Homo-oligomer: A and B are copies of this chain.
């Protein structure tokens, strides 16, 4: 059961043979619960294992000398946020929990073994890191070329689609325990302006984000405002067609 989010993540993007799925399920994994707002790994670490996020929400961030924190990714169940440490010893970023989480640690040795024995799993993991890179590029465009409201809308759209692929969305509603301070660090705007921007989106009837619950009320206009298209997430099922209730 603990491996399910990982399997789901794979299956949303590639196709596993029964052999491969069995191999993944038999990966030794040390499962641990982690409280909200804790670091799982820290910039500068040289981990000997990676971890899969099994439940809850986490984020990847960097602390700058100037004291600012920049969040560069939010993670959904099934993600393996520090998979890169398998090939790059020096970790360039920290990963922290947003709300309470369950994570599963997997030794690099076991990952290496499964990659050797199942080349298609190795290719699949590579693929996952390439999709992460697509998401990073989308964030670069978001931060560099959009203004605050559009930027927020794009982030929210991305979150909804990814959380949906992870099976966390019901009736356009999902649990997303980010604070406005977190959003400020992710969007590169001040906390005060996050508040004003969210108020504006809510008043316009696009969505609400209150007490950790995100509700989308007008998906088409939200998509439009955020110039959002889901292709870059490389999910085989296009949300727009498979989940008409969000249209």
Contact = CB atoms under 8 A, between A and B. Distances in A.
Contacts of A139: 140
Given A64-B227, A123-B87, A70 B145 contact: yes
A62 to B, nearest CB: 5
A130 B85 CA distance: 9
Contact of A87 (B84, B126, B150, B232): B126
Q: Report copies per complex.
A: 2
Contacts of A186: 144
Contacts of A137: 60, 62, 72, 92-93, 136
A13 to B, nearest CB: 10
A150 B70 CA distance: 15
A130 B186 CA distance: 21
A66 B145 contact: yes
A143 B140 contact: yes
Q: Which of A72, A92, A129, A150 has the most CB of B within 10 A?
A: A92
Interface in A147-170: 150
Interface string A86-128: 0110101100000000000000000000001001001100110
Given A129-B126, A133-B132, A187 B92 contact: no
A186 B68 CA distance: 21
What 7 A-B pairs come out closest when comparing CB atoms? A144-B188, A136-B136, A143-B143, A68-B145, A70-B141, A72-B140, A70-B145
Given A72-B137, A88-B234, A144-B187, 10 more contacts: A60-B137, A62-B137, A66-B145, A66-B150, A70-B141, A87-B126, A87-B127, A129-B130, A132-B133, A139-B140
18 contacts: A60-B137, A62-B141, A66-B150, A66-B227, A68-B145, A70-B145, A72-B141, A87-B126, A90-B234, A116-B119, A126-B129, A129-B133, A132-B133, A139-B140, A140-B140, A143-B144, A144-B187, A144-B188
